[in-house]
Amino acid sequence: MICISYSVNIAQTESRYSEITGRVRDFETNKPLAGANVVAMNTNYGAASNLKGKFEVKLPSGTYSIKFSMVGYEDLIIDNIVVAGNETTVIDTSLRQKAINLESVVITPKTEKYDATSLTAMLNRDMIMRSPGSAQDIFWTLQTLPGVSSGSDDSKLYVRGGSAAENLILFDGATISNPYHFEFMGGGLFSIFNSRLMDEVKFYSGGFPARYGDRLSSVLVINNKTASKENLGGEVTLSLTDLNGVIEYPVKALNGSGFLSLRRSYFDFVYKLIPDLKGNNETIPYFYDYYGKLDFNISDYGKLTFTGLSSYENLYGEYKYDHFNGVMNSDGYNQSFGTRLNLILSDNSLNEFNFYYSKSDKEAQYPQNSFENYKFIEYGLKNDLSLLYQSHEIHLGGWVIFKNDNVSVNLPGEINFYTLEDYKINSNGNYILYSLYGEYKIKLTDEISMNNGLRFDYIDKLKKGVLSPRLNIAYAWNEHMSLSFDYGWYYQSPMAYEAGANSSLKFKKAETVGIGIKHQITNELAVNLELYNKKLYDLVTNNNQTGSFLSEGYGFSRGVELYVQIKPDDNLFGWFSYSYSIAKRKEGIIRSEQYFSFDRTHLLSAVINFRFSEVWNISGKYRFGSGTPYTPVSASYFDQSSEKYFPILEIQNSARYPDYNRLDIRLTRQFNLGIQPLEIYLEVLNVINNRNVVHWIYNADYTSRSEMTVLPLIPVIGVNWKI
């Protein structure tokens, strides 16, 4: 049973507010729970427990229902709590952990009210695993949110007119710069992350606070769960595309626990057995990745974590196109190792220290002696001191990041399908990025919250530093409606190989402003409308002949986003999003301000999940996007010396590929094998078999073209068994 103690003491204060105080603990371990939400239901009064589980809520005299909630724990509601003037009510309580099983209810990702942090969405493991058409990949799930698009059938995120390289991705505290499998195949088909291990995912599509920096567009924070310290367990998943195994184990002698996971795709086997699944894709891909995590409680107030991630991928294929005749072969490696130390310094202060090392090494060879080689190494130290109080919190911290890049690219125009122009880079470089930040969040009144921040970044090689002010304000108009405003400067350092070629480069800059309104129409229906405007300065341009880099680029992105969520009930939940935006840039080899290469004017996503019996569930996802820009060919000419045709190009990015359309459906049946849950599902990707074009492939004289696509209609049969 849940243990609750209740007592009333006479307070010695003459305040017009009464108090509810107490402590929240874990029911099993009796350890304090930090960050538990304590709310007087149907009011704006509430608080979060501090690092020792203590909380304090000030509210007028009356009778209330008090709700205790925390991610990963069952909600607890205590009714008929009476508070009167000059009295303090003490409630000490415990929360039970939720059982992680295949029947967990999935919630919608958007938060219910603005809280001055600009947090766009929070996701958990079950939401990612049950999202139809996501291939159980966190990135494919995020692509259903407003303002988030993909190149085509790939996992890359293009957020509010930003590039994939402008997203900060933190994985257990480590920065991951290249988190994609098969980046040379349609832009990155899957992420390297195992969604089955994720505990909490936070996503900021803009207006993110000062503790996050060195990016222009968005922030994705992924924290993996802690394994059981009591029992050995695991999970095995088998589908048409990959085999995934997870084992968790206690390390009782050291008061710790650990995870080990292995994932291996077998597209290579499936394509050989069922050649029709390949469509017009001649490349045979496969990948595997490992992930390990160890957590140790070094004391009641300290936790030490070690993580390691390693992945490998290979693409091999033979092509017989006029401009791409021969063998393509590419290999890719990703490695990341990190250590994180969390210390509770007092009732209200927490310190987190991170050290990490990450490496991405990808090489590809194409016909005509062309190639792409990218090697990125990064390691860093980060420290964050958090001071947490009932009405305000302070974050102070700093980063020291070492970056080392080595890039060589040689793509002649006839096989550079994206631009049809020669593209050459041969550069390397390294530098150290130093960062300091301060952030102050305060609840000014019961209705108004504000988050102010200031960040300083400095690069030793460039001898340049920048200041980034940030401001977020949230206003709770009433119980059902809240408003938000954010403004800030966001800087991103140039790549180390770019700085190695030109030490006069500047930080890239985005100046953004956003406003939003959230309205909870009914208990089941909520609507969110946001507008944003982003101005871009000092973007890096590239001379595609000489490979030189300059800070001469600029651009903008602006748009409006609508999000409607149907909140979970026993049988039905889902969400709908629509975005209208315009993004233009002068950047890279785009020589004047034109449409951004991944601009999609209209984006629409709809996700629905319906449980029509105790054991059967059906879900669907539909995504639509306006076609992305490309540079059209107006004519061609024949060069006598090389005996080849060359294209005559029109204005860069002045035409659009066909619109993107994709519908995915999933049917799930749940079983219980004794006490072990089993799930079998049938999923059909791209039900309408729409040929979503990645790029065009032209014939020898550029008078006709064919389409390059990635995913045809694919049926997927899967089994998920929790041991």
pLDDT of residue 307 exceeding 90: yes
Quickly count: other Cβ atoms within 10 Å of residue 5's Cβ. 10
Nearest residue to 425 (alpha-carbon basis) of 499, 504, 497, 331: 497
- 10 Å CB burial of residue 459 (0-12, 13-18, 19+) is buried
pLDDT of residue 15 exceeding 80: no
Per-residue model confidence as pLDDT tens digits over 170-198: 999 999 988 988 876 556 778 888 888 88
Quote the pLDDT of residue 105: 35
Residue 593, H or E segment: none
In CATH terms, are 5-95 and 121-722 the same topology? Answer: no
pLDDT of residue 258 exceeding 90: yes
Q: Are 33 and 49 in contact (CB under 8 A)?
A: yes
In the chain, pLDDT over 70 holds for what percent of residues?
92
pLDDT of residue 99 exceeding 70: no
Quote the pLDDT of residue 106: 40
Pick the CATH number of 121-722 from 3.30.70.980, 3.20.20.70, 3.50.50.60, 2.40.170.20: 2.40.170.20
Tokens of 595: 């449409």
Give the mean model confidence (pLDDT) for residues 226-233: 85
pLDDT of residue 102 exceeding 60: no
Quote the pLDDT of residue 110: 60
Quote the pLDDT of residue 4: 39
Quickly count: other Cβ atoms within 10 Å of residue 332's Cβ. 23
CATH topology of domain 5-95: Immunoglobulin-like (2.60.40)
Quote the pLDDT of residue 277: 58
pLDDT of residue 100 exceeding 50: no
Give the mean model confidence (pLDDT) for residues 38-49: 82
Report the C-alpha gap between 237 and 224 in whole angstroms: 18
Quote the pLDDT of residue 148: 93
Give the mean model confidence (pLDDT) for residues 577-591: 94
Per-residue model confidence as pLDDT tens digits over 454-478: 999 999 999 999 999 999 999 988 8
Report the C-alpha gap between 83 and 86 in whole angstroms: 9
User: Measured in whole angstroms, how far is the alpha carbon of residue 47 from the centre of its chain?
Assistant: 27
Handedness of CA 21, 26, 31, 32 (dihedral sign): negative
pLDDT of residue 53 exceeding 90: no
Quote the pLDDT of residue 185: 58
Quote the pLDDT of residue 6: 37
Give the mean model confidence (pLDDT) for residues 75-80: 87
pLDDT of residue 12 exceeding 50: no
Quote the pLDDT of residue 392: 86
Give the mean model confidence (pLDDT) for residues 684-707: 91
pLDDT of residue 493 exceeding 90: yes
pLDDT of residue 720 exceeding 90: no
More confident residue, 551 or 134: 551
More confident residue, 709 or 358: 358
pLDDT of residue 264 exceeding 80: yes
Q: Are 131 and 623 in contact (CB under 8 A)?
A: no
Range from 12-26, 564-578, 660-674 that averages highest in pLDDT: 660-674
Tokens of 254: 């050291």
Report the C-alpha gap between 616 and 666 in whole angstroms: 11
Per-residue model confidence as pLDDT tens digits over 236-255: 888 766 788 999 999 988 88
3-state secondary structure of 549: strand
Give the mean model confidence (pLDDT) for residues 131-151: 84
More confident residue, 82 or 283: 82
- Per-residue pLDDT band for 568 (boundaries 50, 70, 90) equals low
More confident residue, 130 or 357: 357
Least confident window among 308-322, 352-366, 401-415 = 308-322
Range from 329-333, 534-538, 637-641 that averages highest in pLDDT: 534-538
Domain boundaries, the chain: 5-95, 121-722
3-state secondary structure of 711: coil
Quote the pLDDT of residue 5: 36
Per-residue model confidence as pLDDT tens digits over 57-73: 888 888 888 999 886 67
Residue 497, H or E segment: helix 496-501
Residue 171, H or E segment: strand 167-171
Nearest residue to 196 (alpha-carbon basis) of 337, 110, 291, 71: 291
Quote the pLDDT of residue 108: 53
Quickly count: other Cβ atoms within 10 Å of residue 71's Cβ. 12
Report the C-alpha gap between 514 and 484 in whole angstroms: 8
Nearest residue to 555 (alpha-carbon basis) of 541, 571, 570: 541
Per-residue model confidence as pLDDT tens digits over 637-662: 999 998 889 999 999 999 999 999 99
- Per-residue pLDDT band for 538 (boundaries 50, 70, 90) equals very high
- Per-residue pLDDT band for 96 (boundaries 50, 70, 90) equals confident
Quote the pLDDT of residue 261: 93
Range from 81-90, 133-142, 154-163 that averages highest in pLDDT: 154-163
Least confident window among 139-148, 287-296, 360-369, 518-527 = 518-527
Quote the pLDDT of residue 559: 97
Report the C-alpha gap between 319 and 135 in whole angstroms: 27
The whole-model pTM stands at: 0.86
- Per-residue pLDDT band for 107 (boundaries 50, 70, 90) equals very low
What's the whole-number average pLDDT of the chain? 86
Quote the pLDDT of residue 282: 64
User: Measured in whole angstroms, how far is the alpha carbon of residue 380 from the centre of its chain?
Assistant: 21
pLDDT of residue 262 exceeding 70: yes
